[in-house]
Amino acid sequence: MNVTMQEIQIKVAQHMIQPNMEIEHSAVRNIVMQMHMGDEKTSVILPLLAVNLSSSNSSLVRIIVLKSLFPTNYQSLRCKLGGLLNRRIFRFACRRDMNFNTIDSRNYRYTDKPIILSFILETHSSVEYLVHKFPRLDLQLFLIIRGLLSSEVLLVAFKNRYRVNYGVNSSSSFNRLMTVPFPAKDVVADRTEFGHPDVALVLTKISYYYLGLNEEETDPASIYDQWILYEDEKYIPKSIKQWNEVNLKDYQQ
């Protein structure tokens, strides 16, 4: 790609690369340059500055633009730097209304390292402390997750593809709701089941997560009772106390 630069563009680029100022450079923290609209700041000067400042392997150039100008700047940099020069470009969105405090702005890279080392080296942790720290239901969930990870049940489950390697048999002659193996896409294997019970349960949950439930498989009565459980019975009309009495076509009900 050939680029023809104007004299003002060359002066601005040189001044931003190596400022030519009368005062001492150590006292200068920032410089501001202003150009007219249409002087090719985005398409010419900005890519050249980014390439020059990032010529060293240890340099990382950050370009800050407004939200309204982000698509134009990003497309220009990706075309000129990423496409032509094979330079990697990362984008990071940051709003002006974001409030950072001392905790949010900390570098967690230096705090994570000792925490991970203490977890590996300090093997004599008190089981009684952990038992009293978490509720009983959470401990049961931790044990279930540990079993699924240590036995590689999740690894086996996520290697299979829904509706290709497994799925739900919707045939009326099949009286079970468990997931069954599929020899091909949308082809149900007759009289076959998964031998491992944990794998069968995990694949069944994943199948219904993708497939969803129909009206026959759901329990609308219990769901509706949960909806009106916290409402005062005095203010609930008799016509909508039961789910089967609700008429969805009656907007005044």
C-beta of residue 180 within 8 angstroms of C-beta of residue 189: yes
- With respect to residue 11, please indicate whether it lies within any of the assigned structural domains: yes
Q: What is the pLDDT of residues 38-94, one digit of tens each?
A: 777 777 888 888 888 887 777 788 888 888 888 888 888 888 887 777 778 888 877
- With respect to residue 114, please indicate whether it lies within any of the assigned structural domains: no
Between 2 and 16, the higher pLDDT residue: 16
For helices 70-77 and 46-53, angle between their N-to-C axes, nearest 10 degrees: 60
Q: What is the pLDDT of residues 101-157, one digit of tens each?
A: 655 555 666 777 777 787 777 766 666 777 777 788 888 888 999 999 999 999 999
- With respect to residue 155, please indicate whether it lies within any of the assigned structural domains: yes
Split at pLDDT 50, 70, 90, the class of 252 is: low
For residue 221, which of 240, 239, 244 has the smallest C-alpha distance?
244
Domain count across the chain: 3
Given 84, 109, 126, the domain boundary residue is 84
Tell me the one-letter amino acid at 35.
M
> What's the pLDDT at 237?
81
The mean per-residue pLDDT over the stretch 164-176 comes to 85
Q: Which domain holds residue 171?
A: 147-211
Q: Judge if 173 and 228 occupy the same domain.
A: no
Q: Judge if 161 and 224 occupy the same domain.
A: no
- With respect to residue 54, please indicate whether it lies within any of the assigned structural domains: yes
Least confident span in 22-26, 41-45, 192-196, 237-241: 22-26
pTM: 0.42
